[in-house]
Structure formats: structure tokens, C-alpha cells
């Protein structure tokens, strides 16, 4: 059984990852007056929808960056695409193909092949041929991969708790319902 620390070290060597200092996380409380004026009707619909789109994009990006920084700060040194790939593969009910993982994570097939190479070299995943189509490679988590995922999950939960601490549960429930409604309109 491979030690997760050994697997991380092997991944750093094979993927060329280098640790770096975390960037400070900026607060978004400065936009509260803009929200109040919009609610009072002083902003047109186009401006509001553009602000929403911009806020959604920037928040998703900042969220991933904050989790990425936290993982690097605790010494995991696993980059964004690596931890997202590990999480997607671990959460899948059955082994996913490389192309399905690439589609899910919005990266090219070539980028996903390189990422899977790094993760496989680190002993976190392995490729297995599909029984229905020999051209398709399915990604299977190893024991070491599952251990790393467990660590990732714990750290991601701690990051979520820290990032969401200033938001009340009622507001979080309302925001979550709104985003889920939008997601259902957009599809998977």
C-alpha cells in the first residue's frame, strides 16, 4: 500500500509541480451598496444580469483558487486540475473514460491524457480497457488515490466551512436553491 505522501511526492516529480505561497483571499463585502441599489430598482435588467454573470464566473474561479491554495498550504501540492480529476473519478459510480473526465472538467482530451499520466505515475489512478470498446480507457482509482481523495475531501470541507462562515444558513439555502434552479435550466 502506497503512502499518500509518497504518491504526492511522485506526482510532483512526474508533473513538475512546485509549491508556492498562497495568495490572500479578497473580501467581496464592498459590493453591498450596489446590491441594495439594484434591489431598490435603480439598475436596469441588463446591468443586473451582467453583474450576476460576472459575479458567478468570478466566484466560481475564486472558489477553486481558494481551495487550490489551501491544498498547497497544507503541503498537498496538488494542482487544481489534479484535485478536480481525483474528485471526479472518486465520486463517479463507475469508472469514467478519459474523454468523459475531460468533458466534465472542461479541458481538452490531450490535457486530460497528460493529467491521467501524472496521476497514474503517482499511483493514484490506473487505466483499464473498457469491456465494450477496447479503444476506450476507463480511469480507476487506486487505494492510494482513495486515501488522497479522503484527505482532499476533508480539506475541501474545511475550506467550504471557512469560506461560507460569514453567510447565514437561510441566505445560503436561498442562494443554493437559486443556483440549482439555474443549473437545472442549463442542464448537466
CA–CA separation, 113 and 119 (whole Å): 10
CA–CA separation, 113 and 174 (whole Å): 39
Q: Is residue 33 part of a domain?
A: no
Which residues, listed in sequence order, are joined to residue 128 by a DSSP beta bridge?
138
Q: What is the pLDDT of residue 72?
A: 78
Q: Rounded to whole angstroms, what are the CA distances from 180 to 58, 90, 176?
A: 18, 23, 6
Q: What is the pLDDT of residue 34?
A: 52
Q: What is the pLDDT of residue 53?
A: 94
Q: Is residue 169 part of a domain?
A: no
Q: Is residue 31 part of a domain?
A: no
Q: Is residue 167 part of a domain?
A: no
pLDDT in tens, the chain (188 residues): 455 555 555 444 444 444 333 344 444 444 444 555 555 555 588 899 999 999 999 999 999 888 888 877 776 667 777 888 999 999 998 899 999 999 998 899 999 999 999 999 999 999 998 888 888 889 999 999 999 899 888 988 898 999 999 999 999 999 999 999 999 999 86
- Cα pseudo-dihedral 86, 160, 63, 25, rounded to 10: -130
CATH number at residue 107: 1.10.10.10
Q: What is the pLDDT of residue 76?
A: 67
- Of the candidates 171, 97, 84, 175, the one whose C-alpha atom is nearest the C-alpha of residue 130 is 97
Q: Is residue 134 part of a domain?
A: yes
Report the domain count for the chain. 1
Q: What is the pLDDT of residue 65?
A: 87
Q: Is residue 146 part of a domain?
A: yes
Residue numbers of the domain that contains 122: 4-15+46-152
Q: Is residue 137 part of a domain?
A: yes
Q: Is residue 117 part of a domain?
A: yes
Amino acid at each position: 500500500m502506497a503512502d499518500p505522501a509518497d504518491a504526492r511526492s511522485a506526482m510532483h516529480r512526474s508533473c513538475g509541480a512546485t509549491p508556492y505561497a498562497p495568495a490572500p483571499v479578497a473580501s467581496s463585502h464592498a459590493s453591498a451598496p450596489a446590491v441594495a441599489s439594484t434591489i431598490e430598482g435603480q439598475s436596469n435588467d441588463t446591468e443586473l444580469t451582467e453583474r450576476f454573470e460576472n459575479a458567478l464566473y468570478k466566484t466560481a474561479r475564486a472558489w477553486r483558487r481558494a481551495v487550490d491554495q489551501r491544498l498547497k498550504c497544507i503541503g498537498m501540492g496538488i494542482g487544481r486540475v489534479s484535485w478536480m480529476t481525483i474528485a471526479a473519478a472518486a465520486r463517479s459510480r463507475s469508472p469514467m473514460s478519459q474523454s468523459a473526465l475531460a468533458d466534465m472538467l472542461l479541458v481538452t482530451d490531450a490535457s486530460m491524457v497528460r493529467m491521467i499520466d501524472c496521476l497514474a505515475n503517482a499511483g493514484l489512478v490506473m487505466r483499464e480497457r473498457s469491456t465494450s470498446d477496447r479503444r476506450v480507457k476507463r480511469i480507476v482509482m487506486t487505494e492510494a488515490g482513495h486515501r488522497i481523495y479522503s484527505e482532499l475531501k476533508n480539506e475541501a470541507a474545511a475550506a467550504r466551512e471557512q469560506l461560507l462562515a460569514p453567510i447565514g444558513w437561510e441566505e445560503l439555502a436561498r442562494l443554493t436553491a437559486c443556483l440549482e434552479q439555474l443549473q437545472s435550466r442549463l442542464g448537466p
